Amino acid sequence: MKVELLDVFGDDNMICNVARVSYRKIAAMYTLEENEKLILFLAKNNHWSPFAHPKLQFRLEMPIYVERQIIKTVVGVDYNSVSGRYVDFSDGYTTIYAWRKQSTSSKQGSGEDLDETNNIIATIIQDDVVDNAKIAYQKLLDLGVSKEQARTILPLNLNTTMIWTGSLYALIRLCKQRLKSDAQKETRDVVQEMLRQVKETNLFTTSLTAYNL
């Protein structure tokens, strides 16, 4: 898994400027405290549109099963991904070394860790599939099969790369849904790192605090 924040447009101040246009005012006419208070008010009262003006762009590398969950957040986000029809990207896989049991309380989720022996066996099964998939993919290419068809035999833990460009509000929604305990851990890890890198810029400290992130 790789997360790289590529570009940022806007900051907390932009959100205040956008909101204050209602009164033909700009953020610079107010104190820092007044602007922070406004952001808290907007978030609390679900006035979400000012938070949709700042934009963030990430390069994400993750397994296909994580990508499928990330791209479910549609509104306010644009996506472009590597094409397995053009390039051979059959080499990178996200392999698991700590396997979790099926949850007993949730049909979708996972629960406690697998015991040590079964954990080793699960890893061997996984590594066999990945090794065989790599060999089989190459064999198909050697037969003259197109990349667009050869890729169809590859497993879901194959890594893909995408550019995620979306609004701050879309990231907030993504975090609210995918940082919860019922979200898949591997997806949570990607979204947590996206949030960490945005926090590190210190550009949206008040907005993220206002949404309890």
Ligand X SMILES: Cc1cc2nc3c(=O)[nH]c(=O)nc-3n(C[C@H](O)[C@H](O)[C@H](O)COP(=O)(O)OP(=O)(O)OC[C@H]3O[C@@H](n4cnc5c(N)ncnc54)[C@H](O)[C@@H]3O)c2cc1C
Contact criterion met (CB below 8 Å) for 174 and 70: yes
> Is residue 126 at the binding interface for ligand X, with CB under 6 A as the rule?
no
Please indicate whether residue 178 is annotated as part of the active site.
Answer: yes
Contact criterion met (CB below 8 Å) for 180 and 141: no
Nearer to ligand X, 24 or 180 (CB): 180
Alpha helices in 143-212 (DSSP H): 147-150, 168-178, 185-201, 205-210
> Is residue 182 at the binding interface for ligand X, with CB under 6 A as the rule?
yes
Q: Which of 6, 75, 98, 135 binds ligand X (CB under 6 A)?
A: 75
Nearer to ligand X, 55 or 178 (CB): 178
Task: Give helix then strand counts, H and E, for the chain.
Answer: 8, 6
Q: Point out the catalytic residue in the list 20, 151, 178, 188.
A: 178
Part of the chain binding ligand X (CB under 6 A), chosen from 25-33, 150-158, 171-179, 199-207: 171-179
> Is residue 173 at the binding interface for ligand X, with CB under 6 A as the rule?
yes
Antiparallel, parallel or unpaired: β 2-9 and 110-113:
unpaired
Name the nearest CA neighbour of 163 among 90, 83, 89.
83
> Is residue 177 at the binding interface for ligand X, with CB under 6 A as the rule?
yes
> Is residue 187 at the binding interface for ligand X, with CB under 6 A as the rule?
no
Q: Which of 3, 18, 42, 73 binds ligand X (CB under 6 A)?
A: 73
Count the Cβ atoms, other than its own, within 10 Å of residue 196.
11
Count of positions (residues) in the chain: 213
Part of the chain binding ligand X (CB under 6 A), chosen from 7-15, 73-81, 122-130, 136-144: 73-81
Nearer to ligand X, 73 or 157 (CB): 73
Give catalytic residue positions: 178
